[in-house]
Amino acid sequence: MRTKVFALYNNKGGVSKTTTTFNLAAYLSEKKNLKILIIDADSQANITELFFASDPSFWDSSHRKTSERR
């Protein structure tokens, strides 16, 4: 099995790096049946949060971020 590595990098913010990474990984996983590893090296961890947000337990009251609690 051959391993392919994709790297998405742009120093500028707001250029859809997170969205593109998420959508590419979802497509390759679901449609092409490939195993995907995403390494989130960004200190904001947006891609990590995006993937966990698809899990309903991430948003229940015991797992919400302090700033989101009512």
8-12 average pLDDT score: 88
Ramachandran class of 55: left when φ > 0, alpha when ψ lies in -120 to 50, beta otherwise: beta
In this prediction, residue 69 has a pLDDT band, given cuts at 50, 70 and 90, of: very low
| Residue 10 domain flag | no
7-13 average pLDDT score: 88
How far is residue 18's CA from residue 9's CA, in Å, rounded to a whole number?
10
- Are residues 39 and 31 in contact, defined by beta-carbon separation less than 8 angstroms? no
Q: Considering the chain, what is the average pLDDT of its residues?
A: 81
| Residue 42 domain flag | yes
Is the predicted pLDDT of residue 17 greater than 70, yes or no? yes
How far is residue 44's CA from residue 37's CA, in Å, rounded to a whole number?
18
Both structure tokens of 28: 């390759």
What single letter denotes the amino acid at residue 42?
Answer: D
Domain with 55, as residue range(s), is: 17-64
Helices (H), the chain: 17-30, 46-53
Q: Structurally, how many domains does the chain consist of?
A: 1
| Residue 46 domain flag | yes
Is the predicted pLDDT of residue 59 greater than 70, yes or no? no
